[in-house]
Chain A
Amino acid sequence: MTAKRQAHAPVFAALGDETRLALVAKLCKGQPRSISQLTAGSRLTRQAITKHLRVLESAGVVHSLRSGRESLFAFDAEPIEEIKKYLDAVSEQWDQALSRLKSFVES
């Protein structure tokens, strides 16, 4: 099953929350997990966890699949890698700009 992606996926917003970051940390290591597994050890209710998972899903960071009667959630690396690439590119541009500034003020 493929993840449903929104064109304007607010990936940063989705990750700007500690609970969701913790969920991503659990999911990004391996196997798809059920809501029960993801709720275990958390102080939040199953409903609250499900809500957070849906936010991550709408940002394309995770997708859900069914296994029997259960919903499983799996991690998708692509949106996060895309953001990382973008930040790396902007970061590289700053390095270049600052090195030009350095020669400009030191000459």
Chain B
Amino acid sequence: MNDRIEKCIELKAPVSRVWRALTDYREFGQWFRVKLDGPFVVGQISRGQITYPGYEHVKWGAIVQKMEPEQLFSFTWHHSHDPNADISKEPTTLVEFRLEKIEASTLLTVTESGFENLPADRRLEAFRMNEAGWTEQLKNIESYVAPKATSA
């Protein structure tokens, strides 16, 4: 059984630009949609608050594993939606970003592994949350496309 997720994407930007978007905590927060308390430091816990619509109650908690400039950025993180979840005690999965230069572009490979560490009820809980997130997203789209007269 495949217990890892692997994604590959070509980004039309230099490796240095992608590296900054991944490892600068403010830039990371913008596209990942999380408000981080401070910079990423290897071996240290990164904390923050998810800003993704429908997930705002969820805390971000990760431990930075590796930062090999313009090559590899990795962290472990928990999948708990419990606001009191403590990253140092929670089961985690490993997320790895690998960067590769292709002419003027960057080939980014993201893998997430270690799902066997997560207890079954946690997976189920997170899945339910995901459905709730989608409902919320659909509402956002609905209000976005709704006639202007009803919007503020």
What is A's interface to B at a CB cutoff of 8 Å?
A: 7-13, 15-16, 21, 79-80, 82-83, 85-87, 89-91, 93-95, 97-98, 100-106
Contact = CB atoms under 8 A, between A and B. Distances in A.
B32 A12 contact: no
A100 B13 CA distance: 14
Contacts of B103: none
26 contacts: A10-B120, A12-B1, A12-B115, A15-B1, A86-B115, A89-B127, A90-B5, A90-B126, A91-B5, A94-B5, A94-B7, A97-B33, A98-B9, A98-B110, A100-B32, A101-B9, A101-B21, A101-B32, A101-B108, A104-B31, A105-B11, A105-B13, A105-B17, A105-B21, A106-B12, A106-B13
B32 A105 contact: no
A95 B7 CA distance: 8
Interface of B: 1-3, 5, 7, 9, 11-13, 17-18, 21-22, 27, 30-33, 106, 108, 110, 112, 115-116, 119-121, 123-124, 126-127, 130
